[in-house]
Chains A and B, each alone.
Chain A
Amino acid sequence: MATRYVRNLAVDTLDGPHQAARRAQLELVTDRVTPLTLAREQTLPVHDSLTSLFPDGALRRGTIVGVGGVGATSLALAVAAGPSASGSWTAFVGGTDIGLVAAGEHGVALERLLVVDPEPSVWSPTVAALIGAVDMIVISPKHRLRERDARRIGSRLRERGSVLVSIGSQWPVGADVQLDIAESQWCGIGVGHGVLQSRKVTIAGSGRGAAARLRSLDVLLPGPGGGPRTIATVD
Chain B
Amino acid sequence: MITPVRTLVAWCPDWPVVATGVPLDEPSAVLLANRVIAASPEARVHGVVRGLRRRAAQARCPELSVHDRDEAKEARLFEPVVAVLDDITPRVEVARPGVCALVSQGPSRYFGGEEVVAGLVRERMVEVVAGRTDVRVGVADGPFAAELVARAADPIRLVPPGTTAEFLAPMNIGVLERPDLADVLCRLGIRTLGAFAQLPATDVLARFGREGQGAHRLASGLDERLPDARQPPVDWSVSAEIDPPADRIDRVAFVARSIADELHRRLGRDGVTCVRVGIRAETEHGEELIRFWRHEGMLSDAAVADRVRWQLDGWLNGSAVSRPSGGITRLALVPDELIAATGRQLGFWGGETEADQRAVRVAARLQGQLGTDAVLVPEFHGGRHCHEQLTLIPTATVELAGRSLDPGDKTAPWPGSLPAPSPTRLLPDPVVVEILDEGGVVIEVTGRGLLSSPPAQLIVKGHRKAVVGWSGPWPIDERWWDVETYRRQARLQLVTADGQALLVVLEAGVWRVTAQWD
Interface residues of A (CB under 8 A from B): 1-3, 70-74, 77, 87-89, 96-105, 110-118, 122, 125-126, 129-130, 132-135, 183-186, 189-199, 222-226
Contacts and interface: CB of A to CB of B under 8 A. Distances in A.
A189 B423 CA distance: 15
Contacts of B471: 189-190, 192-196
Chain B interface extent, by class: 35 or more
Interface of B: 270-272, 340, 353, 355-356, 358-359, 361-363, 365-366, 369-370, 374-378, 386-387, 389-390, 392, 395, 403-405, 418-428, 454, 468-471, 493, 495, 498-501, 515, 517-518
Contact of A130 (B362, B386, B389, B500): B362
A116 B405 contact: no
12 contacts: A73-B424, A74-B517, A74-B518, A77-B424, A87-B353, A96-B376, A99-B425, A101-B422, A116-B366, A133-B361, A196-B495, A226-B421
Nearest to B234: A1
Contacts of A222: 420-421, 517
A196 B418 CA distance: 10
Of A104, A114, A190, most B-chain CB atoms within 10 Å:
A114
A130 B374 CA distance: 13
B381 to A, nearest CB: 10
A134 B493 contact: no
Given A116-B375, A134-B358, A195-B471, A97 B369 contact: no
B421 A225 contact: yes
The 3 closest A-B pairs by CB, nearest first: A133-B362, A222-B421, A100-B390
A96 B386 contact: no
B500 A114 contact: no
Nearest to B419: A195
Given A72-B518, A133-B358, A116 B470 contact: no
A3 B270 CA distance: 8
A111 B390 CA distance: 12
B467 to A, nearest CB: 8
Contact of B499 (A3, A88, A110, A184): A184
A38 to B, nearest CB: 17
B517 A199 contact: yes
B378 A198 contact: no
B258 to A, nearest CB: 12
Contacts, number: 168
A195 B471 CA distance: 6
Given A71-B518, A130-B362, A134-B358, A122 B370 contact: yes
B428 A96 contact: yes
Contacts of B424: 73-74, 77, 98-99, 102-103
A229 to B, nearest CB: 11
Contact of A111 (B405, B425, B495, B501): B405
B375 to A, nearest CB: 6
Contacts of A77: 424
A7 B62 CA distance: 66
Given A1-B271, A87-B353, A110-B405, A134 B470 contact: no
Given A70-B500, A99-B422, A114 B469 contact: no
Contacts of A184: 499
B518 to A, nearest CB: 4
Contacts of B425: 73, 97-99
Contact of B272 (A1, A87, A100, A224): A1
Contact of B376 (A114, A186, A223): A114
B454 A115 contact: no
Nearest to B340: A1
A108 B392 CA distance: 15
Contacts of B470: 189, 191-192
B496 to A, nearest CB: 10
B355 A191 contact: no
Given A73-B424, A116-B376, A186-B495, A101 B370 contact: no
Given A99-B425, A116-B374, A189-B471, A104 B362 contact: no
A183 B499 CA distance: 8
Nearest to B423: A99
A179 B495 CA distance: 23
